[in-house]
Amino acid sequence: MRTRYLASVVTASSVILAAGCGAGTAPEAAPPSPAPAASPIPPVKNPRDVAAMARRPCELLTSQQATGFGFDLPPQELDGLFGTLDCQWRKTTHEQELVRKVDLSMFTNNPTLEVVYSKDHRGLPFFELTEIAGYPAIVTRTNADIAVCDIDIKAAERQSVTVTYQSEEQALKNNPQQSCEVGKRIAAAVLMNLPPKS
C-alpha cells in the first residue's frame, strides 16, 4: 500500500514537472492586485493656505462680512484642537441671549474630509458631499430639530476649515435645514479670505 502511494506521488510529480517544462509554456501569472478605491473626495484644483492663517482665525471674516451676516463685533478667539486657534462670532439680544453664532476651526495636517466621509453617516438627518466656491466640502446636520450645520471644506491636501453655524431665530427654527444654506455662504466668504497656496 505504501509503495503504491509513493509511486502515485512520484507519477503525479513527474506529470506536474513535465507540464512545467513544456516548450512555450509560461508559469501562471499571479492575479493582479486590486487597484485602491478612488477617494470620493475630489482633489483641490486651486489650493489655499490654511496654515498661513492658523494663528489668525478671526481674520477669516472681515468686519464688513461679519456684520453683513448679522454678527456682533469683535469676534472671540478661542483655543482649538491640536494647538490651533478657533474663532467665534455671535449675535445676541437683550430679549434672547443667543440669536446666532458661527464657530470657525482650521486643521493644517489632517485629512478631515476623508475622515468625516469614512464614518457611518446613515443615521444623520443630513449629509451632503458637495463643493463650496469650487472646493470639496461635506455638509452635515446631527439633529433634525435644531438649526445647527457643520461644513468641512478641503482647502488643500491635509488642510481644511470647519464652519459650524447655529441659529436660534424663529425663522430657522421652523426650517432648520436653512442653517446649512446660511453656513455655506459664510464658508464661501471664509475660503476667499484664505491666501492662495504657493
56 or 98: which leads in pLDDT: 56
Characterize the bridge pairing of strands 159-167 and 76-79. unpaired
Q: Is residue 111 part of a domain?
A: yes
Angle at the Cα of 166 (from 165 to 167), degrees rounded to 5? 130
- The total of other beta-carbon atoms located within 10 Å of residue 83's CB is 9
- Residue 46 belongs to a domain: no
Q: Look at 34-38, 39-43, 178-182 and tell me which has the smallest mean pLDDT.
A: 34-38
Residue count of the chain, please give it.
198
Residue 29, pLDDT score:
57
CATH number of the domain at 101, please.
3.40.1000
Query: Which tens digits make up the pLDDT trace of 105-164?
Result: 999 998 999 999 998 888 899 999 999 999 999 999 999 999 999 999 999 999 999 999
Looking at the domain assignment, is residue 156 inside a domain?
Answer: yes
Q: Which residues contact 63 (CB under 8 A, 6 or more apart)?
A: 73
Per the structure, how many domains does the chain have? Answer: 1
Q: Is residue 186 part of a domain?
A: yes
> Does the pLDDT at position 8 exceed 60?
no
DSSP 58: G
The C-alpha atoms of residue 112 and residue 118 are separated, in whole angstroms, by 10
> What is the pTM (predicted TM-score) of this model?
0.78
Give the pLDDT band (50/70/90) at residue 180.
very high
Domain presence at residue 2: no
